[in-house]
Amino acid sequence: MAANDTPYVGLLLIADGLGDRPVPELGGRTPLEAADTPTLDRLAREGECGLLDPIAPGVRGGSDTGHLSLLGYDPYQVYPGRGPFEAMGIGLEVHPGDVAFRCNFATVDDAMAIVLDRRAGRSDFGTRALAEAVDGVQFEDVVCRFKESTVHRAALVLHGPGLGDRVTDPDPHSDGLPLVPAAAKDPADAASAKTARVLNAFLRLTFERWQHHPVNEERRARGIPPANLALPRGPGRSPHLGTFAQRWGFTAACIVEVGLLKGLGRYLGMEVIDVPGATAGLDTDTEAIGRAVVAAAARHRFVLCNVKGPDVAGHDGNPHGKVAILERIDRMAQQIVAALGRRLILCVTGDHTTACSFRDHTGEPCPILFWGETVRPDGVTQFGERPCAGGAVGRIRGTDVLRIMTSYMNAQEKFGA
Amino acid sequence: MAANDTPYVGLLLIADGLGDRPVPELGGRTPLEAADTPTLDRLAREGECGLLDPIAPGVRGGSDTGHLSLLGYDPYQVYPGRGPFEAMGIGLEVHPGDVAFRCNFATVDDAMAIVLDRRAGRSDFGTRALAEAVDGVQFEDVVCRFKESTVHRAALVLHGPGLGDRVTDPDPHSDGLPLVPAAAKDPADAASAKTARVLNAFLRLTFERWQHHPVNEERRARGIPPANLALPRGPGRSPHLGTFAQRWGFTAACIVEVGLLKGLGRYLGMEVIDVPGATAGLDTDTEAIGRAVVAAAARHRFVLCNVKGPDVAGHDGNPHGKVAILERIDRMAQQIVAALGRRLILCVTGDHTTACSFRDHTGEPCPILFWGETVRPDGVTQFGERPCAGGAVGRIRGTDVLRIMTSYMNAQEKFGA
């Protein structure tokens, strides 16, 4: 059977930040262990379970590195740093070969020499108008896309041929220090020298257009430091990953709630589907997300679905909120399984652990289950961190997941004869 | 939380050579399974367990490669051969970039042409005085450090800039064959050519200073072959590993009993603490070692502690001795846990298996446990090879251990966003 003749549709359902540590107020159980999840428990009973290290054992990963790994890309080889993903996350288009920077709106003195306040008073007053005043300018054959993010933050994408990312930071990383023009770290690196030239020209332009911009006159009048310079750091050159379809042999839909993952989906050529009511919070409309998954399964052989709520609850140190959103994901799983039936090859797991007690990501593995008519059931009867540890899947890594799913989908090319 | 804000202290407690095979005289149990270890069993019950391949499944490792791996360095990438570690082990200082050799005291003919006895009668008579007669000499800008070890063994460290380790062995590896001057394996490799020049000059010097040295006149009078040449083999260039603190973000203490591991600790910039009463034998003072660990935990976020006895008993084919020292390590664990309490994130494991029946290292995995308030307890109730195989940790590798510990310590930088 050729890979594209599979009768199955694969669904990788990520409960963002799924894993957790024992929670005293839940009697030492994790939120997933404490949650009432009859469908996930049934799927565990009918499927097979294990533990997933999204990157590698003990590694504290991010949502970006975790999803890269889960989609089959080794983040140690392809992760370009946060720049490109932050840019994707706020809705900037990023193409392979682009060099992206995290930026601050900053305050420099009138000579554009000394960085007075790297965060321009941490005020977002007028930043959208300032961004629009410079977005899209071109130097040489490079287009500069610039967009504001939250508070004093922004992102810059340099789009054009022959750019390198081995450039020094203009950001002095402390207030009161001189602005340092960007330079190629290696003078012989022509691609990075080009990036530095364009970057320095762009910085000069932001100063020229912002220094006396009405937004800044108003900021000064209100006692807010003017945002008269874009201060970039952390360059990253976007890797040539190819599309999901090129890698796996079939197209995919991407139903996710946050910009970072929508950007990743677009970057990999997935159909990114916006779901009204998907808020990325604990109040998100999981039923609407479930309907979107079922609809997408009619057009694609693969669907990536991420529900952000469990991670939000973890960062908030809110185990009861995490329990509640996991119970709603359980009902969503029931809805999807009922609709797709035996066509479905399902994997449910997390992209990392977000421990309520630590309020941030930690390096412990996530539970994982595979379910579908081609899956060998093991003896696990509950979907939870500790029950899954005894499952037949054992302890696997993120980069294993798509291979396992495509094998169950009978949709993987043979390696060898 | 920044990595250095963790309230936890990590202790990696290595029972050297911990793992074993079934021992008939222990009823088919391993020494650890047979030992009465109430504290380790409690820690297993309260923590999580698994099996550790210090390097990779089935690999027969050494104490040096095992500890490198456990501290987070892939020995396949960084292990330079035994030279540098043997030199460290007998107390020679080794710096990154140095080239070190294992050496024999050997007997050559009067023309320094034919190697008559590669081990100079396997006698250590006078070797210290001979070593002192050549230690510290300099050729070009390279200082030669030379020190005797056990019996006919010694080590040589070349310390200086621009040295390579791709040189041929002067050691003919059989008696009665000509001494072969060292040469760079690749004539274009100037660094190794420099090493060969210095090495040949040093060999000539050992012959000149030792041939008629009073030690050798006495050896001849006693019928012992003269030790009139240093015969080096197995060059290794010491890798630039950086310090433990650079790699993990916090300083560490190293409380170990043997020179090899003290050398490794110094090499990684750890505070190496000598414990009076720590003999590296079955009679070692584990209580004193435990006190030193507790004291070091007041100054460092991480402590590496190695107790050598289990390995010694394994090499001696002494399962009852191994049981006894493991029971004393159990009491030491109790002492440490009582003193450090909830501050402690503990990992107990071995650096390799030393099978009493084989009297040497073997490639089976070691049991491993993690314990601390951030750890998810699994269902394992006894610390032993077979009980641990069912634990939630599954089967991990040495290079995973520090990442897992630093995650539990909330002391690891995030990879991604």
CB-based contact, A21 to chain B, within 8 Å = yes
Distance from C-alpha of A318 to C-alpha of A356, rounded to nearest angstrom:
6
**Would you call B415 and A60 a contact, using CB atoms and an 8 Å cutoff?**
yes
Q: Residue B310 — φ and ψ, nearest 5°? A: -60, -35
Give the residue-averaged pLDDT of A347-370. Answer: 97
Question: Across the interface, do A60 and B391 touch by the CB < 8 Å criterion?
Answer: no
Taking an 8 Å cut-off on Cβ atoms, the answer to whether A79 and B416 are in contact is: yes
Q: How confident is the model at residue B234 (pLDDT cuts 50, 70, 90)?
A: confident
* Chain A: residue whose CA lies nearest to B409: A362
**pLDDT at residue A305, as a whole number:** 98
Mutate to test the interface with A, among B376, B396, B408, B412 (most CBs of A within 10 A): B376
Tens of pLDDT along A162-199? Answer: 999 999 989 998 999 999 999 999 999 999 999 999 99
Q: By three-state DSSP, how is residue A98 classified? A: coil
Residues in B touching A363 (Cβ below 8 Å)? 403-404, 406-408, 412
**Residue B162 three-state SS:** coil
Closest residue in A to B50 (Cα) is A389
* Res A2: pLDDT: 45
Q: Is B392 on the interface with A (CB under 8 A)?
A: yes
Specify whether the CB–CB gap between A328 and A38 falls below 8 A.
Answer: no
Mutate to test the interface with B, among A85, A362, A366, A393 (most CBs of B within 10 A): A362
- Between residues 256 and 275 of chain B, which touch chain A (CB distance below 8 Å)? none
A64 contacts in B (CB within 8 Å)? 416-417
From chain A residues 394-413, the ones with a CB under 8 A of any chain B CB are 394-395
Q: What residues 295-354 of chain A have any CB closer than 8 A to a CB of chain B?
A: none
The complex's ipTM works out to 0.85
Q: Which residues contact A405 (CB under 8 A, 6 or more apart)?
A: A10, A12, A345, A347, A370
Query: Are residues A30 and B376, on separate chains, in Cβ contact within 8 Å?
Result: yes
Give residue-wise pLDDT tens across range A90-148: 889 899 999 999 999 999 999 999 999 999 999 999 999 999 999 999 999 999 999 99
- Out of B1, B375, B416, the one facing A75 most closely (by C-beta) is B416
Give the pLDDT mean for A224-250.
94
B391 touches chain A (CB under 8 A): yes
Mean residue pLDDT across chain B:
95
- pLDDT at site B118: 96
3-class SS of residue B104 = strand
pLDDT of residue A6: 65
Indicate which of B374, B407, B412 best probes the interface with A, i.e. most A CBs within 10 Å of its own CB: B407
The contacts of residue A77 (CB under 8 Å, 6+ apart) are: none
| Partner residue opposite B374 with nearest CB, options A21, A60, A394 | A21
- The pLDDT, as a whole number, for residue A82 is 81
Three-state secondary structure string covering B323-376: HHHHHHHHHHHHHHHHHHHHHEEEEEECCCEEECCCCEEECCCEEEEEECCCCC
pLDDT per position as a tens digit, B122-143: 999 999 999 999 999 999 999 9
Residue A405's pLDDT is 98
Give chain B's domains with CATH numbers. Answer: 3-78+241-408 (3.40.720.10), 84-237 (no CATH)
**B1 touching chain A per CB within 8 A:** yes
Q: Residue A80 has what pLDDT?
A: 82
B378 touches chain A (CB under 8 A): yes
- pLDDT surpasses 90 at B85: no
Total CB pairs under 8 A between chain A and B: 99
For chain B, report the end-to-end CA distance as a whole number of angstroms.
15
Among all residues of chain A, which has the CA nearest to that of B6?
A358
Report CB contact under 8 Å: B376, A394.
no
What is residue B57's predicted lDDT score, i.e. its pLDDT?
Answer: 97
Summarize the confidence of residues B74-98 as an average pLDDT.
89
* A30 inside 8 A of chain B by CB: yes
Could you tell me if A51 and A385 are in contact, meaning their C-beta atoms sit under 8 angstroms apart?
yes
- Dmax (CA) of chain A: 74
pLDDT of A5 reads 61
C-beta atoms of B417 and A56 within 8 A: no
Q: Measured between alpha carbons, how far is B80 from B162 in angstroms, rounded to an integer? A: 16
pLDDT at B19 over 90: yes
Q: What is the pLDDT of residue B61?
A: 95
Range B333-361 burial, b when 16+ CB lie within 10 A, else e: bbbbbeebeeebbbbbbbbbbbbbeeeeb
Instruction: Write the pLDDT tens digit of every residue in A55-86.
Output: 999 999 999 999 999 999 999 999 988 889 88
Mean pLDDT of chain A: 95
> What is the pLDDT, as a whole number, of residue A90?
87
The per-residue pLDDT for B6 is 65
- B416/A360 touch (CB, cutoff 8 Å), yes or no: no
- pLDDT tens digits, residue range A270-320? 999 999 999 999 999 999 999 999 999 999 999 999 999 999 999 999 999
Q: What confidence category does residue B165 fall into, taking pLDDT thresholds of 50, 70 and 90?
A: very high
Chain A residues in contact with B397 by the CB 8 A cut-off are 57
Determine whether the interchain pair B412/A360 forms a contact, defined as Cβ–Cβ distance below 8 Å: no
Whether A390 sits inside 8 A of B390 (CB atoms) is yes
Report d(CA A236, CA B381) in Å as an integer.
48
Q: Which residues face A114 on adjacent strands? A: A178
Is 50 exceeded by the pLDDT of residue A3? no
Q: How far apart are CA B389 and CA B334, in angstroms?
A: 23
Which residues of chain B neighbour A260 with C-beta distances below 8 Å? 417
User: Is B381 at the interface with chain A, CB within 8 A?
Assistant: no
CA B325 remoteness from chain centre: 20
The per-residue b/e assignment along B227-239, b for 16 or more CB within 10 angstroms, e otherwise, is: bbbbbbbbbbbbb
Residues of chain A found within 8 Å of residue B391, distances taken between Cβ atoms: 389
More confident residue, A260 or B142: B142
Nearest chain B residue to A85, by CA:
B417
Q: Which pLDDT does position B389 carry in this prediction?
A: 96
Q: What pLDDT, on a 0 to 100 scale, did the predictor assign at position B150? A: 86
Measured between CB atoms, does A79 come within 8 Å of chain B? yes
What is the predicted pLDDT for the residue at B322?
Answer: 98
How far is the alpha carbon of B18 from chain A, nearest alpha carbon, in Å?
22
